[in-house]
């Protein structure tokens, strides 16, 4: 039986890993690009732009929303999505902090 040791890591490390996982698929990067260009978008509009089925886009939107990277507002039968810029700013700061610490710790490394 596998032992899950996620809780052995700090909350910050877990959040950074969740963020990295959420953006680890090229379709999600493309969806974020579409949302950034349009400011907000519904699933059907994204489907028209990307070479993905509606169900696939919906699943990727769900993953991005669960990670807190996008927000969705219900508008009748549709959901309008937009990027949660505050979440990106926080993760950007956390990633930069992590990499600066790693860089300092390994300054004398090859």
Asked if residue 42 belongs to a domain, the reply is yes
Q: What is the pTM of this model?
A: 0.81
Indicate the number of domains in the chain: 1
Q: How high is the pLDDT of residue 103?
A: 85
Asked if residue 70 belongs to a domain, the reply is yes
How many angstroms separate the CA atoms of 25 and 74, rounded?
A: 25
How many angstroms separate the CA atoms of 81 and 73, rounded?
A: 6
Which range of residues forms the domain containing residue 49? 26-84
11-50 pLDDT, tens digit each: 888 888 989 999 999 999 999 999 999 887 788 889 899 9
Asked if residue 3 belongs to a domain, the reply is no
48-75 pLDDT, tens digit each: 999 999 999 999 999 999 999 999 888 7
Asked if residue 41 belongs to a domain, the reply is yes
């Amino acid at each position: 039986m596998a032992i899950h040791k996620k809780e052995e890591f700090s909350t910050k490390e877990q959040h950074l890993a969740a963020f990295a996982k959420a953006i680890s698929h090229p379709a999600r990067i493309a969806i974020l690009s579409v949302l950034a260009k349009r400011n907000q978008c519904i699933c059907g509009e994204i489907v028209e732009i990307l070479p993905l089925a509606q169900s696939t886009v919906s699943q990727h939107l769900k993953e991005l929303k669960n990670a807190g990277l996008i927000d969705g507002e219900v508008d009748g039968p549709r959901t309008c999505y937009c990027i949660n810029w505050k979440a990106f700013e926080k993760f950007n700061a956390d990633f930069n902090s992590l990499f600066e610490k790693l860089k300092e710790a390994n300054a004398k490394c090859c």
